[in-house]
């Protein structure tokens, strides 16, 4: 009886050593696309966050210039556009932004400045392969202040 129990060793593995490498390769094959998509999502989100902060700042600068008194509405709009373009640093955002400016007619009236930029101008569409696309989506920044 002792001879039979002696041959049954708990440390003896039934697996062949080559199978462990195959299992690790298969696990890597399953995990690698998930990790890649996660890294792409982080990069895309960071680029969108940066562009959103940039257009918020540009909207604030444009609205601040728009609150100043002006005699000619066209000159006021040109000054707002110049302030917005100066605040935007990325060339894609400068070329593809849409500015909507609503001046106040009298002192104390509300002045609004809204900038809309397509998300595809702010970041490459990295997650399109997994079903999340940026096309047709916009980043919008709106600032409202009182006219001086």
Give the global pTM. 0.77
pLDDT band of 105, cuts 50, 70, 90: confident
Residues 6 or more apart in contact with residue 69 via CB below 8 angstroms: 107, 147, 148
pLDDT at position 9 over 60: no
**pLDDT tens-digit readout, 23-36:** 788 888 889 999 99
């Amino acid at each position: 009886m002792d001879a039979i129990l002696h041959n049954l060793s708990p440390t003896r593995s039934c697996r062949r050593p080559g199978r462990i490498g195959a299992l690790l390769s298969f696990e890597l094959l399953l995990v690698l696309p998930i990790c890649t998509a996660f890294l792409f999502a982080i990069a895309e989100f960071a680029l969108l966050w940066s562009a959103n902060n940039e257009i918020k700042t540009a909207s604030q600068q444009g609205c601040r210039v728009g609150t100043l008194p002006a005699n000619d509405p066209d000159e006021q709009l040109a000054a707002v556009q110049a302030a917005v373009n100066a605040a935007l640093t990325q060339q894609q955002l400068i070329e593809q932004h849409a500015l909507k400016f609503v001046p106040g007619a009298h002192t104390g009236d509300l002045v609004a400045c809204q900038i809309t930029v397509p998300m595809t101008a702010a970041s490459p569409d990295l997650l399109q392969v997994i079903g999340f696309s940026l096309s047709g989506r916009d980043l919008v920044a709106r600032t409202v202040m009182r006219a001086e």
